[in-house]
Chains A and B, each alone.
Chain A
Amino acid sequence: MRYLPLTDADRSAMLATIGAASIDDLFVDVPAEARLAGPIAGLPMHASELAVERHMSRLARKNLTAGDAPFFLGCGAYRHHVPASVDHLIQRGEFLTSYTPYQPEIAQGTLQALFEFQTQVARLYGCDVANASMYDGSTACWEAITMARRVTRRGKAILSAGLHPHYVSLARTMARFTGDQLDTALPTLTSGAPGDDMARVLAAVDGDTSCVVVQNPNILGHVADLSELAARCHEKGALLIAVVTEPVALGAIRSPGEMGADIVVGEGQSLGVGLNFGGPYVGLFACNEKYVRQMPGRLAGVTQDAEGQRGFVLTLSTREQHIRREKATSNICTNAGLCALAFSIHLTLLGETGLRRLAALNHASAVAAADRLSRIAGVELLNDSFFNEFTLKLPVEARPVVRALADKGILGGVSLGRLYPDAPDLAGGLVVAVTETASEEDVETLAQALEAEIAA
């Protein structure tokens, strides 16, 4: 038990100081019938570092690692190259092992980094202010819907068909309990359409609408102009919430804030964080300045110390649960500090020049791949517009194709059948993400294997 520094002699001496005869005396408030006499049965005893490493490594080897396969999965989680210094820096003990900066005088490192993160996110999203991060994109999206309810005092949210189905699923779970009304629809596999049923959404906005939630690029990869939708929302007194699951896209396309979104939320995993089988990720949350007091989550702000030196603190905490309890803007307490730091370091290394170049590389790779894959007989490219992810309509069901490709060591995309199991119309859809990590050879390997599967 190498993590426990007390010796038996220490324990005896401390019990003597306390005036207790044994450790059991310290558990006297636990009813006798609930006290366990010895270690819980059925679980192994402690293990050495070597033994634990062996066990965990054995489990790790049972997974097909993204780096060991031609890799084309996206749909809300993306594989990008992360510079080595990002992981090095977040492993510095003063970042890794610190807590929420409740004592700002000795947490200036975390606080300044969060302030820089907030500024980066606000600029990337084209918004006035951003918070110090949320759990992930999906939960940030629900928090934005509840924020719109508080701002507008209305309870009907319109979710576009292009919103990630897990995000919709989460909103549906919550709405069942909070009483919010949700207006949802499924995407369609119509060639060239924005896939986002813009007409339906535009028509649905009315005086009861709290917000419209639209993802850009959307789940099928389509990129859309949100300006008209923003204007319609504002005309009807509703808020436009834009969701961005791929922040790298914003190095190439106009920001949602610029297109008129009032709240922009999204997933920050692409920058610095890595795939991690789904978490931890980092939720980004930004909005127009006039709504800042309705915002959930932590905020770092500028102030001065007793000598007039600039410093940073957590601020506007009167919105938060530890002060407002049941009247708080959210129950969120922790944020994703370390992931936010990784995001921020990666973006600081890239800078505007690097982000734009990374985005251009992603787009160029995706364009080349879309052209190659859509030449396969029977395969149709649905998108007129896309960034680094697009949807192919296969002449067969995509799920078994994805499984068959995996058997050949190729992670070839996400089938819409997995994301929308109850929508047989979507079963032929295959969403393919192509980032800078996919080589031309990888694309060719996928193309040939896909061709063979479809022909088979």
Chain B
Amino acid sequence: MSMNSEGRVTRPETDGSVADAAPRSFTGNRALMLEEALIFERDDYGRSGVDLPEAPAVKSRLGGLERNRAIGLPGLPEPEAVRHYTRLSRQNYGIDLGLFPLGSCTMKHNPRLNEKMARLPGFADVHPLAPVDTVQGALAVIHELSDWLVTLTGMQAVAMSPKAGAHGELCGLLAIRAAHDAQGSDRSVILVPESAHGTNPATAAFCGYRVENIPATTDGRVDLDALTGRLGPDVAGVMITNPNTCGLFERDMKRISDAVHAAGGYVYCDGANFNAIVGRVRPGDLGIDAMHINLHKTFSTPHGGGGPGSGPVVLSEALAPYAPLPFVTKLADGGFRLVEEETADEDHPGSFGRMAAFHGQMGMFTRALTYILSHGADGLRQVAEDAVLNANYVLRSLDGLLEAPFGHAGPCMHEALFSDDGLAQGFTTLDIAKGLIDEGFHPMTMYFPLVVHGAMLIEPTETEGKATLDQFIGALRSVAERAKAGDPALKAAPAFAPRRRLDETLAARKPVLVWKDAALPEAAE
């Protein structure tokens, strides 16, 4: 071991082949890091980890369709199941382990109070089709959260049912389409800046629009002239991310909105980055017509290895009449009513309909509301300030080391964007990412946004302290310097992770998506 100039332990001096230095064990395990076979590779096909009583004998009424073939599902006794999943969990990096600076993904501390509240039986063990009188508390949660979202964004209404950010985009575009339909206009084009999330053009195409790209300026923002020049009677709307995917605030947002409105279109804002402005800026003041809010990002519901998400959509006065079903309204007596298909005709005739079964991600609403109440209006404002402060601290602390294409002139918002300019021949953003893994950090977002070559997008979030950021900055400096110097050991990173570099090309060329064994054992019963 050696020490760096700040007195921290750094990586061991090796020739890069750590495997040789630490020979493989008999089991494949490495002390606390245990290898784990697939459940299908174990001899557990006849077993079960659940005690269930024998079913009483009845004459089957399955329409003669009794299953007559083995399914092929192994069953692990409870201790083995607990070990299997605990061992798997230890091969994962999570925000509980350390900084997770994925730009545009927003990985922040997940308070366990949120989990505790979501698991109250009064929320967790309630059926979506229970009589409305018996679920007044659940409806109150939806209503209270709606109120916060509408007030924080300065908008008119909110659709709670979208199940993720991309589903929220769909909701917003359907509302735009419904509004145009109501006016008898058949506009066919959605303009999408090239710095947008890939979900934006995919969503527009999914609701039947043609997508046209709008270029970015050299300072990383939407090209206002290109956008306004393209507006016309065939343009239904624009989709803008603000703060954008370069980590910058779209300074011209209000001018863009005014121009789009003047041309008869609507403005959709991808609100994935709302945590940068929550409590400090209301999107409604910028002329936005629809914006989804990723509750999991701004309001810390857990990302769980890829979901569930939740993407309520706030709507302007112009689009509010088209909001999807169902939604909750408050009655004069303080109770709550659920507006569904049945009552929509009288109350909400313009609704474009239902976009998912039931009422949305209730389990995420309880978590988000818990987080929001914990922070309050004052705390949420501090959230935006600390998120922006942390990102700018990272940006400026790497001056002179990594190229920040849009970071020369001014501040960024909640994430800092760098490029791979200046690395040694053959070294890329990927090498820096894999080097960071060996330093004990989850890497930043790589190769996104596409407008920057070899992009590295770093989002520290507000729940990181200065000491953590300093350690991360030190680690990133060390790895970047190795990439600039062409250290061959970096090409072999990660050396200390559960796996060395994985061959993604092989996986795509010969896809193996399910486990196949030669012969399925017969069912035990």
The 9 closest A-B CB pairs, nearest first, are: A351-B75, A338-B304, A60-B122, A278-B358, A385-B63, A93-B96, A62-B137, A278-B128, A337-B306
Additional A-B contact list (6), CB under 8 Å, known A1-B379, A94-B90, A351-B44: A59-B122, A116-B39, A301-B513, A348-B49, A367-B61, A406-B130
Expressed in whole angstroms, the Cα–Cα distance for A371 and B11 within the complex equals 71
Q: Does B363 contact A (CB under 8 A)?
A: yes
Interface string of B381-392 (1 = CB under 8 A from A): 111011011101
Interface 9-residue window, one of B97-105, B418-426, B479-487? B97-105
Expressed in whole angstroms, the Cα–Cα distance for A89 and B85 within the complex equals 7
* B201 neighbours in A (Cβ, 8 Å): 321, 325-326
Taking a contact as CB atoms under 8 Å apart, the answer to whether B524 and A353 are in contact is: yes
Chain A CB count within 10 A is highest, among B64, B109, B138, B514, for B514
Q: Does A28 contact B (CB under 8 A)?
A: yes
- Kindly report which residue of chain A lies nearest to residue B147, judged by CB atoms: A43
Taking a contact as CB atoms under 8 Å apart, the answer to whether A280 and B364 are in contact is: yes
Taking a contact as CB atoms under 8 Å apart, the answer to whether B120 and A31 are in contact is: no
Q: Which of A10-30 contact B (CB under 8 A)?
A: 10-11, 13-15, 17-20, 23, 25-30
What is the minimal beta-carbon distance from A252 to any residue of chain B, in angstroms? Answer: 6
- Kindly report which residue of chain A lies nearest to residue B173, judged by CB atoms: A177
Taking a contact as CB atoms under 8 Å apart, the answer to whether A105 and B63 are in contact is: no
Q: Which of B74-122 contact A (CB under 8 A)?
A: 74-76, 78, 81-82, 84-86, 88-97, 100, 102, 105, 107, 109-111, 113, 115-117, 119-122
Taking a contact as CB atoms under 8 Å apart, the answer to whether A18 and B392 are in contact is: yes
Taking a contact as CB atoms under 8 Å apart, the answer to whether B376 and A361 are in contact is: no
* A321 neighbours in B (Cβ, 8 Å): 166, 198-199, 201-202
Q: Does A328 contact B (CB under 8 A)?
A: yes
Interface string of B325-349 (1 = CB under 8 A from A): 1000000000000001110000000
* A100 neighbours in B (Cβ, 8 Å): 105, 303, 305-307
A47: contacting residue among B92, B97, B373, B492, CB under 8 A: B373
Taking a contact as CB atoms under 8 Å apart, the answer to whether A311 and B499 are in contact is: yes
Interface 9-residue window, one of A107-115, A182-190, A200-208, A441-449? A107-115
Question: What are 5 contact pairs spanning A and B, CB under 8 A?
Answer: A30-B280, A39-B378, A92-B89, A321-B199, A345-B85
* A386 neighbours in B (Cβ, 8 Å): 61-62
Q: Which of B346-371 contact A (CB under 8 A)?
A: 352-364, 366, 369-370
- Kindly report which residue of chain A lies nearest to residue B494, judged by CB atoms: A105
Q: Does B12 contact A (CB under 8 A)?
A: no
* B279 neighbours in A (Cβ, 8 Å): 36, 39-40
- Kindly report which residue of chain A lies nearest to residue B211, judged by CB atoms: A326
Taking a contact as CB atoms under 8 Å apart, the answer to whether A64 and B75 are in contact is: no
Taking a contact as CB atoms under 8 Å apart, the answer to whether B120 and A253 are in contact is: no
Chain A CB count within 10 A is highest, among B117, B277, B357, for B357
Expressed in whole angstroms, the Cα–Cα distance for A282 and B53 within the complex equals 27
Expressed in whole angstroms, the Cα–Cα distance for A17 and B511 within the complex equals 49
* A139 neighbours in B (Cβ, 8 Å): 163, 167, 355-356
Taking a contact as CB atoms under 8 Å apart, the answer to whether B305 and A43 are in contact is: no
- Kindly report which residue of chain B lies nearest to residue A320, judged by CB atoms: B198
A-B contacts at CB below 8 angstroms, number = 737
Taking a contact as CB atoms under 8 Å apart, the answer to whether A95 and B465 are in contact is: no
Taking a contact as CB atoms under 8 Å apart, the answer to whether A132 and B199 are in contact is: no
Taking a contact as CB atoms under 8 Å apart, the answer to whether A279 and B362 are in contact is: yes
Q: Does B195 contact A (CB under 8 A)?
A: no
B500: contacting residue among A129, A305, A316, CB under 8 A: A305
A173: contacting residue among B174, B199, B304, B524, CB under 8 A: B174
Expressed in whole angstroms, the Cα–Cα distance for A338 and B296 within the complex equals 13
Q: Does B2 contact A (CB under 8 A)?
A: no
Q: Which of A274-298 contact B (CB under 8 A)?
A: 274-280, 282, 292, 298
Taking a contact as CB atoms under 8 Å apart, the answer to whether A4 and B503 are in contact is: no
Q: Does A172 contact B (CB under 8 A)?
A: yes
A298-B306, A306-B501 known; A225 vs B63 contact (CB < 8 Å): yes
What is the minimal beta-carbon distance from A296 to any residue of chain B, in angstroms? Answer: 10
B463: contacting residue among A4, A33, A93, A105, CB under 8 A: A4
Q: Which of B119-171 contact A (CB under 8 A)?
A: 119-131, 133-138, 140-141, 144, 148, 151-152, 163-167, 169-170
A56: contacting residue among B164, B198, B369, B523, CB under 8 A: B369
- Kindly report which residue of chain B lies nearest to residue A40, judged by CB atoms: B377
* A349 neighbours in B (Cβ, 8 Å): 48-50, 75-76, 78, 81
B353: contacting residue among A90, A172, A317, CB under 8 A: A172
Expressed in whole angstroms, the Cα–Cα distance for A389 and B305 within the complex equals 33
Bin the interface of chain B by size: 35 or more
A105-B499, A106-B497 known; A40 vs B308 contact (CB < 8 Å): no
* Interface residues of B, dominant DSSP: loop
Q: Does A251 contact B (CB under 8 A)?
A: yes
* B211 neighbours in A (Cβ, 8 Å): 325-326
What is the minimal beta-carbon distance from B476 to any residue of chain A, in angstroms? Answer: 15
Q: Does B263 contact A (CB under 8 A)?
A: no
Interface string of A211-222 (1 = CB under 8 A from B): 000000000001
Taking a contact as CB atoms under 8 Å apart, the answer to whether B174 and A177 are in contact is: yes
A43: contacting residue among B75, B124, B377, B390, CB under 8 A: B377
- Kindly report which residue of chain A lies nearest to residue B351, judged by CB atoms: A173
Taking a contact as CB atoms under 8 Å apart, the answer to whether A26 and B392 are in contact is: yes
* A75 neighbours in B (Cβ, 8 Å): 129
Taking a contact as CB atoms under 8 Å apart, the answer to whether B308 and A10 are in contact is: no
Taking a contact as CB atoms under 8 Å apart, the answer to whether B498 and A301 are in contact is: no
Q: Does B512 contact A (CB under 8 A)?
A: yes
Taking a contact as CB atoms under 8 Å apart, the answer to whether A65 and B515 are in contact is: no
A44-B376, A136-B357 known; A85 vs B202 contact (CB < 8 Å): no
A138-B357, A280-B363, A354-B50 known; A4 vs B500 contact (CB < 8 Å): no
- Kindly report which residue of chain B lies nearest to residue A309, judged by CB atoms: B499
Taking a contact as CB atoms under 8 Å apart, the answer to whether A313 and B502 are in contact is: yes
- Kindly report which residue of chain A lies nearest to residue B35, judged by CB atoms: A309
Q: Does A333 contact B (CB under 8 A)?
A: yes
Taking a contact as CB atoms under 8 Å apart, the answer to whether B94 and A98 are in contact is: yes
What is the minimal beta-carbon distance from B256 to any residue of chain A, in angstroms? Answer: 12
Q: Does A157 contact B (CB under 8 A)?
A: no
A173-B354, A304-B506, A436-B52 known; A325 vs B198 contact (CB < 8 Å): yes
Taking a contact as CB atoms under 8 Å apart, the answer to whether B309 and A258 are in contact is: no
What is the minimal beta-carbon distance from A340 to any residue of chain B, in angstroms? Answer: 8
Interface string of A334-365 (1 = CB under 8 A from B): 11111101000101111111111110110110
* B134 neighbours in A (Cβ, 8 Å): 63-64, 406, 411
Taking a contact as CB atoms under 8 Å apart, the answer to whether A353 and B46 are in contact is: yes
- Kindly report which residue of chain A lies nearest to residue B118, judged by CB atoms: A276
Interface 9-residue window, one of A163-171, A228-236, A372-380? A163-171
Q: Does A418 contact B (CB under 8 A)?
A: yes
* A15 neighbours in B (Cβ, 8 Å): 389
Taking a contact as CB atoms under 8 Å apart, the answer to whether B282 and A34 are in contact is: yes
Q: Does B27 contact A (CB under 8 A)?
A: no
Expressed in whole angstroms, the Cα–Cα distance for A252 and B525 within the complex equals 11
Expressed in whole angstroms, the Cα–Cα distance for A172 and B515 within the complex equals 37
Q: Which of A35-72 contact B (CB under 8 A)?
A: 35-36, 38-40, 42-47, 49, 51-53, 55-68, 71
Interface 9-residue window, one of B222-230, B246-254, B312-320? B246-254
* B515 neighbours in A (Cβ, 8 Å): 115-116, 119
Q: Does A254 contact B (CB under 8 A)?
A: yes
A135-B308, A303-B507 known; A3 vs B120 contact (CB < 8 Å): no
* B214 neighbours in A (Cβ, 8 Å): none
Taking a contact as CB atoms under 8 Å apart, the answer to whether B63 and A95 are in contact is: no
Expressed in whole angstroms, the Cα–Cα distance for A345 and B125 within the complex equals 19
Interface string of B408-434 (1 = CB under 8 A from A): 001101000000000000000000011
Q: Does B324 contact A (CB under 8 A)?
A: yes
Chain A CB count within 10 A is highest, among B122, B129, B340, for B129
Expressed in whole angstroms, the Cα–Cα distance for A456 and B405 within the complex equals 77
Q: Does B7 contact A (CB under 8 A)?
A: no
* B169 neighbours in A (Cβ, 8 Å): 331
B92: contacting residue among A52, A109, A274, CB under 8 A: A109
Q: Does B453 contact A (CB under 8 A)?
A: no
Expressed in whole angstroms, the Cα–Cα distance for A403 and B129 within the complex equals 12
What is the minimal beta-carbon distance from A367 to any residue of chain B, in angstroms? Answer: 4
